[in-house]
Amino acid sequence: MFRRRVELHPLQKLREAFWPRIGWKRATRYVWRRVWRLSGTPHTIAIGFAAGAFTSFSPLLGFHIMMAVVIAWVLRGNLIAAAFGTLVGNPLSYPPIWIATYDLGTRMLGMSGRHHVNLTEVLMSHKAFDMILPVLVPMALGSVPLGIAAAFVTYFIVKAAVAAYQLRRREQLEERAMARQAERDALADNDEQE
């Protein structure tokens, strides 16, 4: 039902991941509107989104949604909002996130200087896991405080946005209900006069 009529070629899918056809502005607006329209209180939606934002700082790329859903479930947040919150980490934001988490992690561990890593050499080496671990540990450690900071910021932004949207939506529904009632009353008055 929700599939594309014509399946995209793998290269087109890759291009869409880095540069959406509808543009970043419209894609961001689409995600925001989806979050606003979720059912639940502004607090539960914001908790879920903050859980997703927190996990997007983790270096464990394949597990972001799963971790976000578990954290949101524990904190009683909205699980769908948690999945949307992982979009804080995207192809444009990952490089600065990774650099920041690695730098903060090395400072927290007291490592002197930077460890320059040639990723091509690391991935082609027979000891790739042994060479990745010294990079992954500082990133994991640095991701915790940065993720917490991102979670707090996104919590307050999303909570305010959802609350404003829900209030405006309630007012619109009340206005429509009042207009329908006034229309029914007018029709009833006309029927009585005839």
* Mean local confidence (pLDDT), 96-112: 86
Q: What is d(CA 90, CA 94) in angstroms, rounded to the nearest whole number?
A: 6
* Domains in the chain: boundaries: 10-193
Q: Which residue has the higher pLDDT, 133 or 156?
A: 156
Q: Which residue has the higher pLDDT, 94 or 128?
A: 94
* Mean local confidence (pLDDT), 13-42: 75
pLDDT of residue 155: 96
* Mean local confidence (pLDDT), 78-84: 89
The predicted model scores a pTM of 0.70
pLDDT over 90 at 148, yes or no: yes
Per DSSP (E only), the strands in the chain are none
Cα–Cα distances (Å) from 173 to 37, 151, 170, 193, in that order, read 14, 32, 5, 30
CB atoms within 10 A of CB 87: 18
User: Amino acid letter at 70?
Assistant: V
Q: Determine phi and psi for 163, rounding to 5 degrees.
A: -60, -45
Least confident of 70-84, 104-118, 129-143: 104-118
pLDDT of residue 1: 47
pLDDT over 80 at 178, yes or no: yes
